[in-house]
Chain A
Amino acid sequence: MRRVSKTFANGVVALDGFDLSLDDGDFLSLLGPSGSGKSTVLRLIANLVQPTAGTLHWRGDNPLQADVGYVFQEPTLLPWASVFDNVWLPLRLRGVARLDAAAAVDAMLERVQLAAFRNAVPRELSVGMKMRVSIARALITKPRLLLMDEPFAALDEITRFRLNNDLLDLWRDERFTAVFVTHSVFESVFLSNRVAVMQTRPGRIHGEIAIDAPYPRGEPFRTSPHYIALCRRASDLLAAATEASGRRLREAANG
């Protein structure tokens, strides 16, 4: 994404001069306070909204929706459809019949430990399980790029830790590139190899830290001094970004 900006019809400048590049296999976290335009970045990448100015390229091409999986903040499942049907949906919309999709869908359900809940409807599942269905649905088309918009924000900490581990396993096995939006410093450092911190109004990248800890990362990493130190750095950068945003707002207010 080069010099991308987005201004909404109500005059809100969500992004201005936003630069971001992704390498194959990256796990990038976008860390920032609410209203910094993190979600807008994802929606731009997914081609759900068009940039006001600037350009986006994905593998030398314009972003291809077929190559993108999207996990929303809420599980966003079809409440009337079974777990199987929810995961089948992206394939179904591409014209893949139930029988032809069954093997892939069942394998994916196995992968996210939901095989036993194949025929359950969403309201019979816990929030964490619904989120796993949502992730399985996003990955069923084997996308090269997985976009996640604060997917674990509403979960309790124990479930969140488990899903963080599961997500890293999936990322290792399926080899997709991930962009993960969050406002949790700890989550971003644990998951990613790059943390980009955003400042707000207008949203742009304030700075970036490379998380140089090796994968696989598990519980030992979560309690290691190295992890704490990295969280400290990310936290300081986030504080600086918030400070910079506040300064600009004050300047704007003073004319």
Chain B
Amino acid sequence: MADPATAQIDAEERQRLRAARLENVGKWLLPVAVMALALLIWDRIVVWNDIQPYILPRPVDVCNALIEDRALLFASLLTTLKITGLGLLCAIVGGVGLAVLFAQSKWVEMSFYPYAIVLQVTPIVAIFPLINIYVDNLTVKLLLCAWIVAFFPILSNTTLGLNSVDRNLRDLFRLNGATRWQELRHLRLPAAMPYFLAGLKIAGGLALIGAVVAEFVAGSGGQQSGLAARIIEAGYRLNTPRLFAALVLISLTGILIFMATSWTSHLILRRWHDSALPAER
């Protein structure tokens, strides 16, 4: 096949190539432009209407708060990240572990799956007071919350993946006298990988939400507190710029987690799974 850059192509194909290139740039440029425009409008509204910073700070004030309070804010970010990361890790271990257990026996799955759903659909805010009574250690409390919120997508997706193995492939393994462990290791786990990774993308964001919600409800204070506690504290003190700054940090963290899980998924699946292939034109 000739290099598309040098090959003689007709006008229609040239048009299509140009559109594709534009789309590639626009994908990044447009959201940034929208953000810049929104910030500008925000800034103008504050200035023209003479709004006080404790009601609505200018974007510049938020930036200043991020820089001035960086020691405090980043320490809190680290605390929140720790809970999020550990929560996600527990969710992966627990979710995949339970899914593997379910895949070993239909009876186990039938017995316990409904309770996983119950845990998922009950709002964490409603469960938390109970956790608060029974668990003393603050970190464990928060971790438990993040885990409860994040583990279900991993469990449900991995269970689905482990069970949706091609019937003929299973026959092939039976024909070759594969043990249960071999079937799991060489067939079911790799086949479940795309499902698990899709669950991981959801769980990453949920772990952060779980951690932040838990911090809110726990209302923890002091040096060890996370970003949610900073938001509450800043709200009480009418330190609105810092409140915004903490919010920005939480959003950025969420975006970074999503990008990290998406990238991991792409790296693992890019050679063989349709979802990781570039769309054909």
Binding site for B on A (CB under 8 A): 43, 46, 48, 65-66, 68, 70, 72, 74, 76, 78-81, 89-90, 92-94, 121-123, 141
List chain A residues, Cβ under 8 A from B272. 79-80, 121-123
* A-B residue pairs in contact (CB < 8 Å), sample of 11: A65-B177, A70-B171, A76-B168, A78-B186, A78-B190, A80-B193, A89-B172, A90-B176, A93-B173, A93-B176, A141-B176
Does B271 sit at the interface, judged by CB under 8 A?
yes
B177 near A76 with CB under 8 A, answer no
Say which residue of A79, A89, A123 sits within 8 Å of B186 (CB atoms). Answer: A89
Which A residues lie within 8 Å of B187 (CB)? Answer: 78
Interface string of B161-192 (1 = CB under 8 A from A): 00000101101111111100010001100100
B16 CB within 8 Å of chain A: no
Closest B residue, CB atoms, query A92: B186
Measured between beta carbons, the chain B residues less than 8 angstroms from A79 are 272-273
Shortest distance between the CB of B183 and any CB in chain A (Å): 9
Whether the pair A48, B176 counts as a contact (CB closer than 8 A) is: no
Distance between Cα atoms of A43 and B167 in the complex (Å): 13
- On chain A, the residues within 8 Å of B175 by CB distance are 46, 48, 65, 68, 70
> Top 5 nearest A-B pairs by Cβ distance?
A76-B168, A93-B176, A72-B168, A80-B272, A90-B176
Measured between beta carbons, the chain A residues less than 8 angstroms from B271 are 80, 121
Which B residues touch A74, using CB under 8 A? 168
Known: A46-B175, A72-B171. 18 other contacts (CB 8 A): A43-B171, A48-B174, A65-B174, A65-B175, A65-B176, A65-B177, A70-B172, A70-B175, A76-B166, A79-B272, A80-B272, A81-B190, A89-B172, A90-B176, A93-B176, A93-B177, A121-B272, A141-B176
In the complex, the answer to whether B174 meets A93 with C-beta atoms within 8 Å is: no
A46 to B177, CA, bound (A): 12
Please give the distance in Å from B262's CB to the nearest CB on chain A.
Answer: 19
Majority secondary structure of chain B interface residues (helix, strand, loop or mixed): helix
Flag if A78 contacts B177 (CB, 8 Å): no
Contact of A93 among B168, B169, B182, B274 (CB under 8 A): B182
**Contact in complex: B171, A48 (CB < 8 Å):** yes
What chain B residues lie within 8 Å of A122 (beta carbons)? 272
**Measured CA separation A141–B176 after assembly (Å):** 9
Q: Given the complex of chains A and B, what is the CA–CA distance between A70 and B273 in angstroms?
A: 25
CB <8 Å contact, B273 and A93: no
B169's contact among A65, A78, A123, by CB below 8 Å, is which?
A78
For B172, the chain A residues whose CB sits under 8 A away are 70, 72, 76, 89
Distance in angstroms between the alpha carbons of A65 and B171 in the assembled complex: 11
Query: CA of A105 to CA of B67 in the docked complex: distance in angstroms?
Result: 62
Instruction: Please give, as numbers and ranges, the residues of chain A lying within 8 Å of B168 by CB-CB distance.
Output: 72, 74, 76
Most chain A beta-carbon neighbours within 10 Å: one of B166, B173, B274: B166
Determine if B176 and A76 form an interchain contact, defined as CB atoms under 8 angstroms apart.
no
Q: Given the complex, which residues of B lie within 8 Å of A89, measured CB to CB?
A: 172, 176, 186
Q: Which of chain B's residues have a CB closer than 8 A to the CB of A92? A: 186
Closest to B183 in A: A93
A46: chain B residues at CB < 8 Å are 171, 175
A93 touches B178 (CB 8 A): yes
In angstroms, how far is the closest chain A Cβ from the Cβ of B280?
13
Q: Are A93 and B186 in contact (CB under 8 A)?
A: yes
* Docked complex Cα distance between A48 and B167 (Å): 12
Residues of B within 8 A of A90 (CB): 176
Contact residues of B between 139 and 173, Cβ < 8 Å to A = 166, 168-169, 171-173
A55: shortest Cβ distance to chain B, in Å? 21
